[in-house]
Amino acid sequence: MLFSLHFSPPPVIAPLPFKPLSHVPHHHHHTLNMLPSTHVLKPPLCSTMEHFTLNHHGKGGEEEEEEVDQTLPLGLRREAMPRHVAVIMDGNRRWARSRDLPVRSGYEAGARSLRTIVELCCKWGIKVLSVFAFSSDNWFRPKVEVELLMSLFERGMQEDTGIFLRENIRVSVIGDLAKLPEALQELILNLEETTKNNTHFQLIVAVSYSGQYDVVQACQRLALKAKHGLVEPGDIDASLIEQELETYCSEFPHPDLLIRTSGEFRISNFMLWQLAYTELFFAQSLWPDFGEAEFLKALLAFQQRRRRYGG
């Protein structure tokens, strides 16, 4: 077979096997399949308003077996919602630079984006959201920027405490917290303590965190236990490691879906062990631009995936 040298962008999401709900311009995801595609591919670019319109037309229609869940946008099935979504919130600085704004504006816009997504998670029945706020590698950024980020975390936690309490949100912070400024450490401990009995939703913020760090610290804790005779090295198994990982603070420690924004196709040392079977979704938008429409797209794509776990 002779292939033309015209390369279309590689698809990074599995094509969605249903017709688009609206005739709007869509992102192109060409397949590199040699064989004719059997699906109509394009994911719908929907807004919540459109869903209300469609719902209305759909009433009294052919498919009466399923109750339409009015709290979810059309197309999303409540029983197939991911329980734990993880996000690498990338692109804040690029967003600021592209608008000739200072880096601070990028991070502030990113914080607004995070609040939107937290709200949507609560509304749509997602139980846990983990966000990669600050990586172990980020300590190498310029001191001024690191200090800016630390102060933004402090401010964010102080300002949003009310929301967390009101919305029954539990906040957990994972990472090598000893590296953080003392004031921030104290704030974090207080916030975790204050919200620890909240049950509606859990927000896990990874600060000074990396997947490799998490495994190493789990291993160190196990080594300590072994040293004190609490466990034999030979008895160490996967579940013992799980118990020592920092995500053990959650009812659902493994993300079902990981979203990374800004078009980068890498994990960048976010949770490694916990991402073993996680569906990955790479969004082109920069984080401050990642809103409801794109989140919906990611969730719809997730619900189309066939998870086999090697079987």
Partner 1 sequence: MDGNRRYTKRWNLMQGAGHKVGYSALMSMLKYCYELGVRYVTIYAFSIDNFKRTPEEVQSLMDLMLDKIEELLKDESIVNRYGIRVYFSGNLKLLNEPVRLAAERAMLATAKNSKAVLSICVAYTSTNEILHAVRESCEEKWDEITLLNSSGGYEPDEDVNLIKLTDIENHMYMAFAPDPDIIIRTSGETRLSNFLLWQSANSYLYSPSVLWPEIGFRQFLWVILNFQRIRVYLDKKRKQL
Instruction: Give me the catalytic one of 90, 160, 214, 256.
Output: 90
Which residue in 146, 148, 150, 275 binds partner 1 (CB under 8 A)? 275
Amino acid at 130: S
28-29-31-32 Cα dihedral, nearest 10 degrees: 90
| Binding track, positions 130-169, relative to partner 1; x by CB under 8 A | ----------xxx---------------------------
90 catalytic residue (yes or no):
yes
Minimum CB separation of residue 175 from partner 1 in Å reads 15
Cα dihedral sign, 58-60-65-66: positive
Q: Return the number of the residue (162 or 310) whose C-beta is nearest partner 1.
A: 310
Minimum CB separation of residue 9 from partner 1 in Å reads 9
Which residue in 44, 106, 211, 253 binds partner 1 (CB under 8 A)? 211
Which residue in 282, 291, 293, 303 binds partner 1 (CB under 8 A)? 282
Instruction: Kindly state the DSSP code that residue 275 receives in the 8-state scheme.
Output: G
The pair phi, psi for residue 139, each rounded to 5°, is -60, -20
33 lies in the binding site for partner 1 (CB under 8 A): yes
Which residue in 52, 220, 243, 248 binds partner 1 (CB under 8 A)? 220
- Rounded-to-integer distance, Cα 58 and Cα 238, Å: 48
| Residue 122 CB neighbours (<10 A) | 17
- Rounded-to-integer distance, Cα 223 and Cα 225, Å: 5
Amino acid at 45: L
- Rounded-to-integer distance, Cα 294 and Cα 282, Å: 11
Minimum CB separation of residue 103 from partner 1 in Å reads 12
Minimum CB separation of residue 232 from partner 1 in Å reads 9
Minimum CB separation of residue 14 from partner 1 in Å reads 4
| Residue 130 CB neighbours (<10 A) | 27
Cα dihedral sign, 69-305-213-95: negative
229 lies in the binding site for partner 1 (CB under 8 A): no
98 lies in the binding site for partner 1 (CB under 8 A): no
Which residue in 10, 17, 58, 102 binds partner 1 (CB under 8 A)? 10
Residue tagged 């401050």 (tokens): 288
Closest CA to 146 of 104, 112, 113, 182: 104
Q: Please give the residue ranges that form the binding site for partner 1 (CB under 8 A).
A: 3, 7, 10-15, 31-35, 140-142, 210-212, 215-216, 218-220, 222-224, 226-227, 233-234, 236-238, 241, 265-269, 272-273, 275-282, 305-307, 309-311
User: What are the residue numbers of the active site?
Assistant: 90
